Amino acid sequence: MALLIWILQNFWSLLVLSFATLVGLRIAYRFRKYGATRAELSHILRRSPFYLVVLIFCFFAAAPFMIMFLHSFKVDGDLYRRPQPFIYRQDPTLEHLESLFTNTAYLDFIRNSVVVGVAVVIITLILALPAAYALARLTGRWGERAGILMFLVYLVPPTLLFIPMFRIVVMLGLKDSPLALIVVYPSFTVPFSMWLLQGFFKAVPPELEEAALVDGYNRVEAFLRVVLPLSLPGIISTIVFTFTLTLHEFIYALVFITNTSRRTLSVGVPTELILGDVYFWQPLLAAALIIAIPVGFAYNLFLDSLVQGFTMGAVKG
Amino acid sequence: MSLVELQGIKKFFDDVRAVDGIELEIENGEFLVILGPSGCGKTTLMRMIAGLEKPTAGQIFIGGEDVTALPPRKRGVSMVFQSYALYPHMNVFNNIAFPLKAQSREKKYDKRAIRDKVENTARLLEIDMLLDRRPRQLSGGQRQRVAIARAMVTQPAVLLLDEPLSNLDAKLRANARDELKEFQRSSNITAVFVTHDQIEAMGLGDRIVVMSHGKIQQIGTPQLIYDDPANEFVATFLGSPSMNILRSDAFSFGFRPENFLPKTLADNPENSRIFHYYVKRVEYLGSDRLLYGYVHGHDNELTLAKVPSNVRVSLDVDCDYEFAVHNSDIKFFDKQSGQRIEEQNLQGVV
Amino acid sequence: MASASDVLNPRRYFMDDRRFVGVMFLAPALLYILLLVGLPFLLAIAFGFSDVTVGNTELNFIGFDNFVAVWENDIFRQVFGNTVMFTLVSQVFILIFANILAIIFTQEFTGKWFARFIFILPWATPVSLAAIGWLWMFDTKYSPIDYLLLQTGFLGPKGILSNSRNLYWLANPVLSQISVIFVQVWRMTPLATVILMAGLSSIPTDILDQAEVDGSRFMRTLLQIKLPLILPIMVIALLFSMITMFGDMTVVYVLTRGGPVDYTRIIGLYSFQIGIEGGNLAQGAAMALFAFPLLLALALLMLRTASRAEVR
């Protein structure tokens, strides 16, 4: 806690200092390796505009997140008394973070999001795994056409579909039920996952399946016992991206669920943490940040395999 | 002074010593082939001559000038890649013109000059009717010519070729080899050619550099390298089937299967060594018979003999024969280092 | 060895038949998707030609009345114009920034992993939550951006931009549009960058080495080799983010709800407000349908580009 207060109070100087230290260490490392020669200095000078551009882009990307972090711990007096948004003049507080978890439906939002996300991932895998394999290996030209059709379906935007879907959901009595989202979300997660998985399946050498067929498995068993285990990294990244897609979804969640405690994160946070036009900024910002950071990590971890899956699907498609 | 000089060139990728101390001089106008198994460092060496890799240690001179720190465009080299690396979005004319345009700032080519140079080079390689085509509309052989034309158009001091024949099918390859050699001879350009194919190397090279594990094993004319290998590696790497190597307590010795003939066929039995040879299996290859068997006293070292089919000597499986090798055809190697050594006494060894 | 019972019972071999297993594997997903998207899609068209509302469940077909009404609605015309304008303007910036970033991130440099982590955050964060951050950044009174401008003399009594202490980002017609475009560019650039990076890294290294040996410098290699080679992928990235943006209403919903007046209202949001909040399902559906021909054209263009790129 004391550490957090200290970090918050010295946020900018710490940011600049740690950056300067890293730059200094890097230069010192190069000097040790190549000697502090004139050539080395000019190399550093020539590279610096490049790093400056990187730094500017990073700053723009990170700006709202830094402000979110900084402002989540401000007491009201410090936040709303101008003019000092960038430093702490009063001690930071955890009170808003506490109230986010105790006085609001934030924990419900998280739970609902997880329930919907997990259920959608399971349905998506059951539907998309065999379908993607069929597209990658089993079906010829008609499969290719089915794949293109799937892709077109993925491009039909929710803004076009939410009105009739709303009607159907109401008719089925699923309004305000997470089931509505669980049923509807696969309409975009399945095409997405199929496209991604298809790429990973194509990367498995066909000889391995053929060997399994010769060894006495049938096609279904060959798929289950040879192809699936070999594509495990691809499947894991598909799971991650399917889950985050459900976290991102906004329109259906907004339209289908109106009961506060049933809402999911993407809708619950921007609508339910605001009372009329009264914004409780600190918990609001904290609520957004708490979700943003882990999802950001997940994306970075699996980004390469995402790109690989998509390019595989495209190159060999 | 030689055109290209490499002094103490090393290249380490982390702990891997890809190229480990190369001294090499390339003469003006020669066709030098760098031959070695895959992973021996030959491509890395060529990429360092081109300037695509910086050596970890050592210096490279081209035309007497130290180019070690210079980028490729300042070196006066050009390169033909194994994949030909034709720019797929440009037609043949623009592919060939690309190096001229890229260097137009230093060399001041105008449009007219570029057109003339491209057309002349294309005519030389007989691709002047293909100038409007895209690379994907060309056959393998045509692509290779375009790649060579693009490499030649700037009149480089050195032409580097990285296995440019390996993408062609076997029939085309022999033809392309002839044309390449002919072209090099007539244009008198210095060419460095990297390959793992010994037939290509023997057929093309004025001199061959045999490399293994990042080091040069031997440099010499094709004949020298074949007849007088510097060590066991060179001896066994060249020739198909490769040289028989037999080991004794003190040293190893070897002889080529085609020099290992029935005693009755040896033209100089007094100067030949006689071996008792047990034939285990015979393969009939048309012009030759390939014999698999063992020399007496070396029952674990499979020894091959290549006997012309047109000599009427019956050679049967499971029989012992007397075979002879001319003394000058027996090479001796150090047992530890594998280096060639002086002639040894074979008495009691076989 | 096939026994007599195997021969008599061909069902045993179904699991080995490529076609049969293919159909079995593909059918569930295909049916699910077609049902889940096709049915509402047809229903959307039916709604567009009817007078259905939230309260009234009967479908009375009234021909093109809805479409005529929508098109004669001045607000809708502005909304349609906004949608097209936002989409096009943001694409220009997205493409510029994505190209720069893709070139940066295909180079090797110290701290690349961390820089990449930071620059992907806007795309990784759920849109509605990221928009909250920007809502605060653009706050009427407490905007940190305004504070910076105030300190640097752009705002305040003698300010260059305005003599007020605030710019009122989301209340000013032009600034609100700029803000919305800015946030869209901010969150979509990483996706376009990632697609372009995939394109750049799929260029064979031989081609780039060849260009280097041919004497080509950085800019020439970029303009004459790299960019032409990734052009098809660039078009795909462009169309993809256009389609995504066309069908999205999250950013404006959180930032402005379409205001001030109608300056940031877009089709998706308007059809939500009319169709769901206003209860007029028929008109809402008709509005959404207006954008469909455009979307379809974009999607087909995208597929054409993709298939052409593959031929090369």
Taking only the tens place, the pLDDT of each residue in C112-133 is 888 888 888 898 888 898 998 8
Q: Does C225 touch chain B (CB under 8 A)?
A: yes
| 3-state SS assignment for residue A53 | helix
**Cβ separation of A61 and C122 shorter than 8 Å?**
yes
Measured between CB atoms, which of C52, C133, C281 is closest to A67? C133
Provide the shortest C-alpha distance from residue C208 to chain B (in Å): 8
Domain positions in chain B are 4-227, 245-341
Query: Which range, of A46-50, B22-26, B89-93, averages the lowest pLDDT?
Result: A46-50
Mean pLDDT calculated for residue range C71-87:
89
Interface test with B, best of C203, C210, C222 (most B CBs within 10 A): C210
Taking only the tens place, the pLDDT of each residue in B228-269 is 999 999 999 998 889 999 988 888 999 999 999 898 887 777
What are B161's strand-pairing partners? B80, B193
Mean pLDDT calculated for residue range B65-75:
89
Distance CA C76, CA B259 (A): 94
In this structure, are residues C45 and A153 in contact, taking their beta carbons and an 8 Å threshold? no
Tokens of B284: 């009939």
**Cβ separation of C214 and B83 shorter than 8 Å?**
no
Please name the residues in contact with B37: beta carbons below 8 A apart, sequence gap of 6 or more. Answer: B196, B212, B237
**Is pLDDT above 80 for B118?**
yes
Greater confidence, B321 or C248?
Answer: B321
**Is pLDDT above 60 for C9?**
no
Interface of C with A in 187-246 (CB under 8 A): 190, 194, 197-198, 202, 243-244, 246
Measured between CB atoms, which of C26, C197, C267 is closest to A307? C197
Q: What is the pLDDT of residue A315?
A: 45
Q: What is the pLDDT of residue C279?
A: 83
**High-pLDDT (> 90) share of chain B, %:** 51
**Cβ separation of C120 and A303 shorter than 8 Å?**
yes
| 3-state SS assignment for residue B25 | strand
B288 CB-contact burial (10 Å; exposed 0-12 / middle 13-18 / buried 19+): middle
Whole-number Cα distances in Å, C158 to A84, A113, A186, C162, C218? 20, 49, 56, 8, 45
**High-pLDDT (> 70) share of chain C, %:** 92
Confidence of residue B162 (pLDDT cuts 50, 70, 90): very high
One CATH from 2.40.50.140, 3.10.330.20, 1.10.3720.10, 1.10.10.10 for A103-314: 1.10.3720.10
Among chain B, residues having any CB pair with chain C shorter than 8 Å are: 47, 50-52, 71-73, 77-79, 81-83, 85, 87-89, 98-99, 101-103, 136, 150, 154, 160
Q: What is the pLDDT of residue B149?
A: 92
Distance CA A286, CA A97 (A): 7
Identify all chain C residues contacting B98, using CB atoms and an 8 Å cutoff: 211, 214, 216, 224
Place of tokens 């007496």: B296
**Which of A17-26, C9-18, C297-306 has maximum average pLDDT?**
A17-26
CA nearest A311 in C: which residue? C198
Pairing of the two strands B251-255 and B261-262 = unpaired
Whole-number Cα distances in Å, B170 to A237, A288, B177? 44, 64, 11
How wide is the angle at C-alpha C173 spanned by C-alphas C171 and C175, nearest 5°?
80
What does the mean pLDDT of chain B come to?
A: 89
Distance CA C52, CA A292 (A): 40
**Cβ separation of C215 and B102 shorter than 8 Å?**
yes
Taking only the tens place, the pLDDT of each residue in B298-330 is 888 899 999 998 887 888 899 899 999 998 899
**Cβ separation of C144 and A85 shorter than 8 Å?**
yes
Distance CA A85, CA A88 (A): 8
| 3-state SS assignment for residue B65 | strand
Q: Does C215 touch chain B (CB under 8 A)?
A: yes
CA nearest C212 in B: which residue? B72
Q: Does C211 touch chain B (CB under 8 A)?
A: yes
Mean pLDDT calculated for residue range C212-239:
87
In this structure, are residues C195 and C282 in contact, taking their beta carbons and an 8 Å threshold? no
Query: Which range, of B79-88, C10-19, C146-155, C178-187, averages the lowest pLDDT?
Result: C10-19
**Cβ separation of C124 and A162 shorter than 8 Å?**
no
**Is pLDDT above 60 for C170?**
yes
**Is pLDDT above 70 for C8?**
no
Distance CA C257, CA C270 (A): 9
- Based on its alpha-carbon atoms, the radius of gyration of chain C, rounded to whole angstroms, reads 26
Q: What is the pLDDT of residue C312?
A: 44
Interface test with C, best of A72, A88, A159, A279 (most C CBs within 10 A): A159
The predicted model scores a pTM of: 0.82
Q: Does C29 touch chain B (CB under 8 A)?
A: no
Measured between CB atoms, which of B87, B99, B160 is closest to C215? B99
- Split chain A (317 residues) into runs of 10 and give each run's mean pLDDT: 80 87 86 79 84 89 88 79 73 82 87 95 95 84 78 81 88 90 92 88 86 83 88 91 91 90 89 74 88 87 80 51
Query: Which range, of A12-21, C29-38, C299-308, averages the lowest pLDDT?
Result: C299-308
What is the 3-class SS of B201-265, one letter each residue? HHHHCCEEEEEECCEEEEEECHHHHHHCCCEHHHHHHCCCCCCEEEECCCEEEEECHHHCEEHHH
| 3-state SS assignment for residue B30 | coil
Distance CA A58, CA C13 (A): 58
Interface test with C, best of A160, A202, A301, A310 (most C CBs within 10 A): A160
Taking only the tens place, the pLDDT of each residue in C186-217 is 999 998 998 888 888 888 889 999 999 988 88
- What number of other Cβ atoms are within 10 A of residue C308's Cβ? 11
Q: What is the pLDDT of residue B131?
A: 92
- Of B294, B290, B288, B289, nearest to B321 by C-alpha is B294
Walk me through the domains of chain C, giving residue ranges and CATH numbers.
13-48 (no CATH), 62-308 (1.10.3720.10)
Q: What is the pLDDT of residue A316?
A: 40
Pairing of the two strands B298-308 and B215-220 = unpaired
**Cβ separation of C125 and A292 shorter than 8 Å?**
yes
Greater confidence, C164 or B289?
Answer: B289
Provide the shortest C-alpha distance from residue C225 to chain A (in Å): 19
**Is pLDDT above 80 for B159?**
yes
**High-pLDDT (> 90) share of chain A, %:** 18
Confidence of residue C12 (pLDDT cuts 50, 70, 90): low
Amino acid found at A117: G
**Is pLDDT above 60 for B347?**
yes
Pairing of the two strands B158-162 and B190-195 = parallel
One CATH from 3.40.50.300, 3.30.1280.10, 3.90.1150.10, 3.40.50.150 for B4-227: 3.40.50.300
Distance CA A34, CA A255 (A): 62
Q: Does C234 touch chain B (CB under 8 A)?
A: no
Architecture field, domain B245-341: Beta Barrel (2.40)
Place of tokens 């402005």: C256
**Cβ separation of C15 and A218 shorter than 8 Å?**
yes
How wide is the angle at C-alpha C237 spanned by C-alphas C231 and C238, nearest 5°?
90
**Is pLDDT above 90 for B80?**
yes
Greater confidence, C67 or B209?
Answer: B209
Is the alpha carbon torsion for A61, A64, A67, A73 positive or negative? negative
Q: What is the pLDDT of residue A317?
A: 35
What are B218's strand-pairing partners? B210
CA nearest C198 in A: which residue? A307
Distance CA A124, CA A113 (A): 16
Q: Does C219 touch chain B (CB under 8 A)?
A: no
Q: What is the pLDDT of residue B1?
A: 66
Distance CA B268, CA B260 (A): 13
Q: Does C248 touch chain A (CB under 8 A)?
A: yes
**Is pLDDT above 80 for B71?**
yes
Greater confidence, A40 or C262?
Answer: C262
**Is pLDDT above 80 for C252?**
yes
Chain B / chain C CB contacts < 8 angstroms: 65
Q: What is the pLDDT of residue A71?
A: 85
Q: What is the pLDDT of residue C2?
A: 47
